[in-house]
Amino acid sequence: MNIQEAQQKVLQHDQARGWDYFHPLEIFANMNEEMAEIWQKIAWVNDAEKQERAKLRADEIEFDIGDLLHLVLKLANQFDVDAERGLERVLEKFGKEHPPVR
């Protein structure tokens, strides 16, 4: 599924459950909570141990990242913007500002 399809799927999912009313500030707060959950899984250890913890908890981290993506797409729907086009624009800008090092 591409990002536009995912954004539409989130919209349909939220509308079917009456979840399309949340204020953007509530969504931002929820995003902070989800990011903190990921951070707690790998916090306070050296880089090698972070990688090991991430491998051991990959399923949980994958779900948390999916949760974050869901929230980002909810915001895109609320602000009536195309998340896929936004990502393409950001990558284009970053590509110009930061050329490959390899």
Task: Note whether 86 and 76 are within 8 A (CB).
Answer: yes
CA Rg, the chain, in Å?
A: 16
Which DSSP symbol is given to 80?
T
pLDDT in tens, 45-94: 888 888 998 899 999 999 999 999 999 999 999 999 999 999 999 999 99
Residue 91 placed within a domain: no
The C-alpha atoms of residue 81 and residue 27 are separated, in whole angstroms, by 16
> Given the structure tokens 């590509």, which residue do they identify?
95
Q: Tell me the pLDDT band of 34, cut-offs 50, 70 and 90.
A: very high
Residue 90 placed within a domain: no
Per-residue pLDDT averaged across 31-37, rounded? 94
Task: Give the domain range for residue 54.
Answer: 1-8+22-81
Residue 97 placed within a domain: no
